[in-house]
């Protein structure tokens, strides 16, 4: 398969959408101690309510199985959110498909689609954490095989007809039908962190792409976007949406946004780095990420809007997803960030993308 040809033009698709992502990060309480996980989950529901009220298009909840993130069952949290919102689309960021059962994933999110009146989505991925593998009795030696086979099965289930399937990770299926059916299909994205094979796999199944940009620069992901377009062409798939997930924080001024975000972001990345053999997170790393072409979308509404418009143009994005819950950042500061993002950042990004003279189209 030759995917080295065809140079697709990049540019912002018409009518982009804007969302938020959270992992249910456990914030600190007034006493400086981590909040109970139950309170962190209730905060996620309140944050989603505000996201709906300020007109955002998507709210994504990630799956983790560790103490710093409270949400291990995103579909349950999203069902609670569905009952308290009206229009915002609800999905995952991400569902760790490798350690889940594709049939149960489909059933749970088809159910969420019903209770939300057609607002459910899934983003599947291998996950950047691996705690779910030993938790559910799986071996990391099967990391790649588990995801590739389970994605193959899920792609078949998404057709919502009889499924016959055979692989090595579960017994074969012959003419199986899975319920409930959805009214208009279940949008499913593939989340990737930079692996070319995952990008090509998403294209092969005709599934849209979410690129997680948490380090470096969005510019560095241009080759993966180009690869995705070439792969879509190779597999004779239609043009599909591409989204980007990146961390950030919005406040009244650049200085305040940096002051609020830095200690929580640094603590989270230092903790994760200690687990993975990295050094402590530094102010220099933060400033590089917060710069004009970095991966952190932090600043005043105008600063963040300019950077999002640039990233959407650079990668030809249909959606941008701000990972707004940064470590132990307090709930009140998250709410203000959501309010500013929905009422000031997103309208300004739309203006920039619609104005050819802004350089964002």
Question: pLDDT tens track of the chain, all 361 residues?
Answer: 555 443 444 567 879 999 999 999 999 888 889 999 999 999 999 999 999 999 999 999 999 999 999 999 999 999 999 999 999 999 999 999 999 999 999 999 999 999 999 999 999 999 789 999 999 999 999 999 999 999 999 999 999 999 999 999 999 999 999 999 999 999 999 999 989 999 999 999 999 999 999 999 999 999 999 999 999 999 999 999 999 999 999 999 999 999 999 999 999 999 999 998 899 999 999 999 999 999 999 999 999 999 999 999 999 999 999 999 999 999 999 999 999 999 999 999 999 999 977 765 4
Question: How far is it, in rounded angstroms, from Cα 271 to Cα 280?
Answer: 8
On whether residue 68 sits in a domain, the answer given is yes
Answer whether 98's CB lies under 8 Å from 147's CB. yes
On whether residue 348 sits in a domain, the answer given is yes
Orientation angle between helical segments 196-204 and 222-234, nearest 10 degrees: 30
Using CB atoms within 10 Å of the CB of residue 90, give its burial: 0 to 12 exposed, 13 to 18 middle, 19+ buried.
buried
On whether residue 3 sits in a domain, the answer given is no
On whether residue 247 sits in a domain, the answer given is yes
Tell me what pLDDT residue 29 has: 87
On whether residue 349 sits in a domain, the answer given is yes
Tell me what pLDDT residue 53 has: 98
Tell me what pLDDT residue 10 has: 54
Tell me what pLDDT residue 359 has: 61
On whether residue 11 sits in a domain, the answer given is no
Enumerate helices (H) and strands (E) in the chain, giving the number of each.
Answer: 12, 12
120: domain range? 17-358
**CATH number reported for the structural domain that contains residue 277 in this entry:** 3.20.20.30
Write out the H or E segment, with its range, that includes residue 19: strand 17-22
Place of tokens 């964002």: 360
Q: Is the dihedral of CA 77, 80, 82, 86 positive or negative?
A: negative
Tell me what pLDDT residue 54 has: 98
Number of domains, the chain: 1
On whether residue 198 sits in a domain, the answer given is yes
On whether residue 136 sits in a domain, the answer given is yes
Pull the structure tokens for residue 323.
């990972």
Residues shown for the chain: 361
Tell me what pLDDT residue 245 has: 98
Backbone angles phi, psi at 54, to 5 degrees: -90, 10
Pull the structure tokens for residue 269.
């990345």
Question: How far is it, in rounded angstroms, from Cα 299 to Cα 304?
Answer: 6
């Amino acid at each position: 398969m030759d995917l080295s040809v065809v140079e697709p033009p990049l540019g912002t698709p018409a009518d982009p959408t804007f969302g938020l992502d959270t992992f249910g990060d456990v914030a600190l309480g007034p006493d400086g101690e981590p909040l109970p996980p139950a309170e962190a989950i209730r905060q996620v529901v309140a944050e989603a309510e505000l996201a709906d009220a300020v007109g955002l298009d998507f709210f994504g909840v990630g799956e983790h199985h560790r103490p710093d993130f409270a949400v291990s069952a995103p579909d349950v949290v999203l069902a609670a959110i569905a009952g308290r919102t009206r229009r915002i689309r609800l999905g995952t960021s991400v569902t760790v498909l490798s350690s889940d059962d594709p049939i149960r994933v489909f059933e749970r999110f088809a159910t969420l689609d019903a209770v939300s009146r057609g607002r459910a989505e899934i983003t599947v991925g291998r996950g950047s954490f691996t705690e779910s593998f030993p938790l559910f009795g799986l071996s990391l030696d099967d990391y790649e095989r588990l995801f590739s086979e389970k994605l193959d099965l899920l792609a078949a289930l998404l057709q919502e007809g009889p499924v016959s399937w055979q692989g090595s990770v579960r017994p074969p299926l012959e003419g199986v039908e899975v319920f409930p059916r959805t009214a208009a299909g279940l949008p499913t994205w593939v989340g990737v962190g930079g692996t070319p094979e995952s990008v090509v796999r998403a294209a092969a199944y005709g599934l849209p792409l979410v690129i997680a940009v948490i380090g470096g620069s969005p510019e560095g992901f241009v080759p993966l976007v180009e690869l995705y377009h070439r792969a879509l062409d190779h597999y004779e798939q239609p043009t599909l949406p591409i989204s980007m997930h990146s961390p950030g924080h919005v406040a009244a001024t650049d200085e305040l946004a940096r002051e609020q975000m830095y200690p929580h972001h640094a603590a989270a990345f230092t903790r994760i780095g200690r687990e993975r053999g990295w050094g402590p997170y530094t102010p220099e790393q933060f400033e590089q990420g917060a710069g004009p072409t970095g991966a952190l979308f932090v600043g005043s509404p105008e600063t963040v809007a300019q950077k999002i418009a640039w990233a959407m143009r650079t990668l030809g994005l249909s959606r941008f997803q701000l990972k707004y819950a940064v470590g132990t950042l307090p709930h009140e500061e998250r709410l203000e960030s959501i309010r500013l993002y929905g009422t000031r950042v997103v309208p300004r990004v739309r203006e920039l993308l619609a104005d050819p003279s802004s350089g964002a189209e």
